[in-house]
Structure 1
Amino acid sequence: MIKRTVMSIAAFSAASMMAFSVSAAEVDGPEVNWNLSVWGKERAFTSSIETIRDYVAEKTDGKFNIKIHYGEALSKSRENLDGIKLGAFQMAALCTAYHPAKNPTLSGLDLPFLPFPNLRVQSTVHEAYYQHPAVAKDMARWDAMLLMSSLLPQYEFTGVGDPPLTLEDWKGMRVRALGGIGEAMTKIGAVPTTVPAPEVYTSLERGTIEAASFPFTYAHVAYRLTDIGKWHTANMSPGANHCPVVVNIPAYEALTPEYQQLLNDAKAPAYEALYEAYEAADAKNFPLMKEKGIQAITYSDEELAKFREVGAKPVWDEWIAKMNSDGYPGTELFELIMTTSKQATN
């Protein structure tokens, strides 16, 4: 249930403001108090919303306050979009794969094996996608405006047993793979299963599954897969959950133009904070994985092309056909992803 209890806005600690310390407001305006709903605790994933919070507070000398409520304190993660619609809070993080029927156009960013070589290309594609009129209209049904992406890194697999050095080696393998990644692995011949994240370690240890996909590298370490894994894929990049930050449209429209501009201006440092947080996790985790003797599997361009032809293209084609039949511009949206990615990569 969405918690409707009115939350008091706590004063910002000095530590939270160190990154943006000034002596006076750069933007004058009224006092505004917003609440933001997110699950879990402070981590790399939340570095963007924390940067936005600090940025707007600093620029207004504390008059524009965004209170982040962690741990599903305001809403269950799968109900954040409903909470935005109800106006229970003004901002929220959400993952579109949790409820694809509620945000059909955005399910395009959950497709497997999209050509995102790094997070900067991924953010460029996401931002271009958000600007498409069909996407904006889709989200407006929920009184939601897409502010930015939380940029989950591409997933990779950690596993036990014989390492899958080719596409054929995956056939019959029991893997933990969700959403679009699970669909792709089915096409490849693996046997996907849905295992809650806290149970993945035990499942891998007991042999219930032979490999598990998580955002790479921080989630593999966080869930201790590196304690029992014998190998990991290094460049398979089968996909990633799409998790945007959204804003309640009536609340946004009630802001002064200057405050609206501040939210937009905050996106650049927020994206930089995400890049840095994930890069810091990799810098720490790669040596750890090497130290543990976990074999890194790097596929050739030719082998990756096979993965996309067998595991990705059928899923892409099915998504495009369904979107078109449901009255959405599936072909146009998919081409937007591919074209923007190519342009951003070159």
Structure 2
Amino acid sequence: MVLRGILAGAALAVVGSFGVSVTAVPANAAEIIDGPKVNWNFAVWGKRRAFTEGMEYAAEQVKERTGGKFTITMGYGSFSKPKETLDGVKLGATQGAMFCNFYHPGKNPAFMVFTLPFLPLGDPDVRIRVTRKLYEHPALVADMDRWNAMTYVSTILPQYEFFGRGKEPHKPEDFAGMRVRAGGGIGSAMEKLGATLSTVPATEVYTTLERGTVDAASFPYTYAHVAYKLHEIADWFTGNLSPGTSECPAVFNKDAYAALPQQYKDLLMGMRDEIYAVQKKAYADIDAKNLPMLREKLTEITYTEEQRADFQEKAGKVVWDEWVKDNPKLPGQELIDLILSEAKASM
């Protein structure tokens, strides 16, 4: 599906996250990296999918470029439960893991800034720039220090969108009275617009939407909606509302990383642009497949910049302000301002 299986004697050009061309080195080339045998266990959940393609690529390339000396074993559910991956990293049970901030807000309070609604993080390149900058902030570093972890790359989870039946939401007021399945900052935003929230598990969304228990549901766009088959029963979907997202990074155990020889550290850090390029392509490939089908079956609702600004004013900033107030121990406003400034600088 994505960039893998490098041919002998050929170099593969990859467009990095800022349009920079980077090169993946063939495994049997003279530049093969020598070093000791090292195997890392990396915790993730579910099954291989677009969400995991970036780290799958990292694991493949680490093995290729070291001639099998350095390997990363991707453990889908075999190392840690989804809400316990940071615990596994802290204990040293795994050398790396993915985690999602919304699974455990108390474990990563500063990371919850990424879950606030209507932040300007819809463009993946903007998201990458912002994420890299935020990862360096002392508050987010402190979040990871508690788990003896360090951030590596983001999975740049796509913006959530809504799939629904019946009444179409063309303006903020249209969500009033709707019953929506949405969590985190998006859920808070919908409440500000007068919607009633449902916390039904993802696996039950299809049934509740079909029966009319909920009118609309939000998932990462478009792969999760199709994975849960909401397109089979929905009437409409929002194509560019971009109400919010979540942050699900790949992290390493700090001691495990420190113990690596320098050439392995350089290899890992030097391929991050490639990983982001692969991650972006994985989501883009899914959208390229899904969107024509969705547009044929359903009504796509799109919004102008002015309309999105209206949503942000009525259901975004008010939630940001409340989050800052409710988390006095965090530099909340500083983090929000940093996201806004970095996003603006990259546009």
* Superposition TM-score, scaled by structure 1 size: 0.91
1:56-205 aligned within 5 A:
56-70=62-76, 72-205=77-210
Contact kept in structure 2, 1:17 and 1:58, CA below 8 Å: no
Mapped to 1, the partners of 2:96 and 2:4 lie a distance apart of 19
1:187-266 aligned within 5 A:
187-266=192-271
User: Which residue identity does 2:62 align to in structure 1?
Assistant: V
- Structure 1 range deviating more: 200-209 or 133-142: 133-142
Mapped to 2, the partners of 1:274 and 1:213 lie a distance apart of 21
For 1:56-95, what per-residue CA distance to the aligned partner results, in whole angstroms no more than 9, with x for missing partners? 112211111000011x111110000111111110010110
Mapped to 2, the partners of 1:124 and 1:16 lie a distance apart of 25
Contact kept in structure 2, 1:148 and 1:244, CA below 8 Å: yes
Mapped to 1, the partners of 2:165 and 2:140 lie a distance apart of 40
Mapped to 2, the partners of 1:138 and 1:302 lie a distance apart of 36
Deviation at 1:23, TM superposition (A): 1.2
Give the SS at the match of 1:69: strand
For 1:26-82, what per-residue CA distance to the aligned partner results, in whole angstroms no more than 9, with x for missing partners? 221111000001011111000011011012112211111000011x11111000011
Deviation at 1:111, TM superposition (A): 1.1
Deviation at 1:237, TM superposition (A): 0.5
Mapped to 2, the partners of 1:314 and 1:276 lie a distance apart of 34
Deviation at 1:21, TM superposition (A): 4.0
Match of 1:339 in 2: 341
Match of 2:317 in 1: 313
Match of 1:8 in 2: none
> Do structure 1's residue 44 and structure 2's residue 50 form an aligned pair?
yes
> Do structure 1's residue 295 and structure 2's residue 299 form an aligned pair?
yes
User: Which segments of 5 or more consecutive residues in structure 1 lack a partner in the other structure?
Assistant: 1-14
Over the aligned positions, Cα root-mean-square deviation in angstroms equals 1.5
User: Which residue identity does 1:321 align to in structure 2?
Assistant: K
Mapped to 2, the partners of 1:214 and 1:256 lie a distance apart of 41
Give the SS at the match of 1:245: strand
Mapped to 2, the partners of 1:305 and 1:164 lie a distance apart of 15
For 1:133-189, what per-residue CA distance to the aligned partner results, in whole angstroms no more than 9, with x for missing partners? 221122111101000101110010000012112111110100010111111111111
For 1:225-274, what per-residue CA distance to the aligned partner results, in whole angstroms no more than 9, with x for missing partners? 11111011111101112100010011011111111111111211110011
Match of 1:28 in 2: 34
Matched residue count:
327
Mapped to 2, the partners of 1:209 and 1:144 lie a distance apart of 39
Contact kept in structure 1, 2:180 and 2:217, CA below 8 Å: yes
Match of 2:18 in 1: none
Deviation at 1:302, TM superposition (A): 2.3
Give the SS at the match of 1:85: helix
Mapped to 2, the partners of 1:334 and 1:245 lie a distance apart of 22
Give the SS at the match of 1:162: coil
Deviation at 1:18, TM superposition (A): 4.0
Contact kept in structure 2, 1:320 and 1:334, CA below 8 Å: no
User: Which residue identity does 2:118 align to in structure 1?
Assistant: F
Deviation at 1:321, TM superposition (A): 2.4
Mapped to 2, the partners of 1:308 and 1:166 lie a distance apart of 11
User: Which residue identity does 1:263 align to in structure 2?
Assistant: L
Contact kept in structure 2, 1:155 and 1:213, CA below 8 Å: yes
- Structure 1 range deviating more: 271-280 or 54-63: 54-63
